[in-house]
Structure 1
Amino acid sequence: MAHKTTSSFLASDTLSHVAFSSCAAVIARCAAHPLDTIKTRIQFASPITGTSEPSLGQIRSTVRQVLQKESYSALYRGLPVALVFSVPALSVYLGAYDYSKQALGRWGRLGTHESMSVHALASCCAEILSGALWTPMEVLKNKMQVHTGSTASISSGGQTLRLIRGIYQSEGIRGFFKGYFLALAVFVPYTITYFVAYEKMKRQAGLVLHGRRVVDSQSPARQQLPFGAYVVCSGTSGALAGAVSNALDIVKTRVQASRRSQSAMSIIRHMWIHEGKWRAFGRGLLARVLWVTPTVTLSMSVYEVLKDWRIRLLAR
């Protein structure tokens, strides 16, 4: 009976996708959340005018400040909210990408599902759809991570609810989607860069390891890669995408985490005038890359390996 239930579960594309992406989301978020907290604090903080601390120094001083003035648990501030949103968000994100890629490939006007234009457009669709879940998560999580007052001690559900109630009372539903279009300006280029590079690297890995390209499908003909290859492909692509999108991510973080309403243009103007012009937009670059890389490496590698495992079981 249990075997039959498992078989029917694996036979369902939808159920298996939700399960695999949820597993990937939980593992990646729990492992990399402290790095996200460090990255967010560095981006949110305004440096003293005229000072320029090296990226590694920013990371060291931020970690030291958290551990000395707060506690190790402060690095996990906002994790429960992040898990609640990131599990369904990653399911929508990966599901929309896979579906759009296959649908656009069948359509044929942009080439096959292996073409760069298909990967770019499919990643746009994935980001736009999943952004409705990522944005509220970012708003709540960012506020919890950067503010050390009453809104920051998010160790209980009651305090989280007070933060939600406060946002709703002051800004309405719109407050939870603050920076949605700015987030698209950050993550659409990020996602395009990531998936175009990732798919290209997977094909090259298939040629190197198997002498032929990876067949990207759900059938037994799909040429599977070893876990290490997924790690290298996803990690390298993630680092590149994270670096490309860092400048606007700083602006987005400040818009979403600020206690008072600020426009993106006013933040950009302030950074340019008071924080060192171009140098201000590189703030937290290393921290962002160090956060993005393990996050996407874990989430994509786990997701890909579980998909390969399902295909092998169904092929028996």
Structure 2
Amino acid sequence: MSEQRRATTHLIGGFSGGLVSAIILQPFDLLKTRLQQDKTSTLWKTLKSIETPSQLWRGALPSCIRTSVGSAMYLTMLNSIRQAISKGKNTGSTGSSYLPQLNMYENMFSGAVTRALTGLITMPITVIKVRYESTLYQYTSLRYATSHIFRTEGLRGFFRGFGATALRDAPYAGLYMLFYDRMKVLVPTLLPSNVVKLNSDNRYSTYASTLINGSSAFSAAVIATSITAPFDTVKTRMQLEPAKFHSFTSTFWHIATKESVRNLFAGISLRLTRKAFSAGIAWGIYEEIVKKFV
């Protein structure tokens, strides 16, 4: 297969997985944003403020654009970096995946660098998405949201909170890739032997590989999300209240000392749920598309 077709396959796989997960899980993202914007709010109070079910999908369009395009870019770049690292090395792969296995440091490096680059490119749509979901801004359309940010804050406004985002996403992606690779080896040992039978090509069935990859992605996301949760809260505050919160350090210190350390983990249950299921869905779809067409 040509390199161009291979890259297209990764783009389609990443886009499809990201789009499906964004549509299904948008309510979790919206509720998380609103919990993080108000230090006194609870999940129950936030749910009561939602007047109709359709409001749970407010901000779905920018979320779908960001997640699908971001996922396509991220997974394509990640594969290129991992292939470059593994070139000339006997890295091997698992029965559920065609992606090369790397060592701990290579996994963390490839995930962190790729996520930081993708985060920078998709930052403008991330800022628009967060503010559109929030109740602090009464944006009536994406066009108005975009023009308002540009008019009041300039281009810099579209990259508000990038430092906190990079500090959250780069370690998250590095840890995620580390645990995802390990889980793809561990999960088959926990499943019934009749499920994880290898075929003549030394591969698992579609059902088995989807189960293994989805479960591995889910577990890796839970671990990585738990560790990086405070960075997500800081990032959201900086994007929602730029006049009050100017830097990562001052925002982190304000939340930890003026409010409570607990507030650094505001919305963690929602973020855990969303990130875990998002990873399970997106990576399950992505891995199967790559298996079918690469």
Tell me if TM exceeds 0.5: yes
Deviation by residue 1:290-309 (Cα, 9 ceiling, x = unmatched): 11111111111110111122
Instruction: Quote how far apart the aligned CAs of 1:97 are.
Output: 1.3
Tell whether 2:168 aligns with 1:175: no
Q: 1:252 aligns with which of 223, 235, 245?
A: 235
Q: 1:201 aligns with which of 171, 183, 193?
A: 183
Tell whether 2:87 aligns with 1:106: yes
Mapped contact 1:243–1:288 kept (Cα < 8 A): no
Instruction: Quote how far apart the aligned CAs of 1:208 are.
Output: 6.1
Mapped contact 1:142–1:256 kept (Cα < 8 A): yes
Tell whether 2:77 aligns with 1:96: yes
Instruction: Quote how far apart the aligned CAs of 1:64 are.
Output: 1.9
Mapped contact 2:30–2:133 kept (Cα < 8 A): yes
The CA distance in 2 between the partners of 1:270 and 1:128, in whole Å, is 25
Mapped contact 2:136–2:240 kept (Cα < 8 A): no
> Superposed, which structure 2 residues align to 1:90-239 within 5 Å?
90-106=71-87, 113-147=101-135, 150-151=138-139, 153=140, 159-206=141-188, 225-239=208-222
Unpaired runs of at least 5, structure 2:
93-99
Q: 2:267 aligns with which of 252, 276, 284?
A: 284
Instruction: Quote how far apart the aligned CAs of 1:164 are.
Output: 0.5
Deviation by residue 1:168-219 (Cα, 9 ceiling, x = unmatched): 11221121111112211011111111110001111223566799xx9xxxxx
Mapped contact 1:194–1:237 kept (Cα < 8 A): yes
Tell me the amino acid that sits aligned with residue 24 of structure 2: A
Unpaired runs of at least 5, structure 1:
1-7, 49-57, 154-158, 215-219, 312-316
Q: Which structure's CA Rg is the greater one?
A: 1
Tell me the amino acid that sits aligned with residue 128 of structure 2: L
Instruction: Quote how far apart the aligned CAs of 1:99 are.
Output: 1.3
Query: TM-score scaled to structure 1, two decimals?
Result: 0.79
Residues 23 and 9 (structure 1), Cα distance of their counterparts in 2 relative to 1, 3 Å cut: farther
The CA distance in 2 between the partners of 1:243 and 1:107, in whole Å, is 35
Mapped contact 1:139–1:176 kept (Cα < 8 A): yes
- The match for 2:252 is 268
Partner SS state of residue 12, structure 1: helix
Tell me the amino acid that sits aligned with residue 94 of structure 1: L
Identical counterparts, % of pairs: 20
Partner SS state of residue 87, structure 2: helix
Tell me the amino acid that sits aligned with residue 203 of structure 1: V
CA RMSD in angstroms, aligned pairs only: 2.8
Instruction: Quote how far apart the aligned CAs of 1:150 are.
Output: 2.6
With a CA cutoff of 8 Å and minimum separation of 6, indicate the structure with the bigger relative contact order.
Answer: 2
Partner SS state of residue 39, structure 2: coil
- The match for 1:51 is none
Mapped contact 1:139–1:256 kept (Cα < 8 A): yes
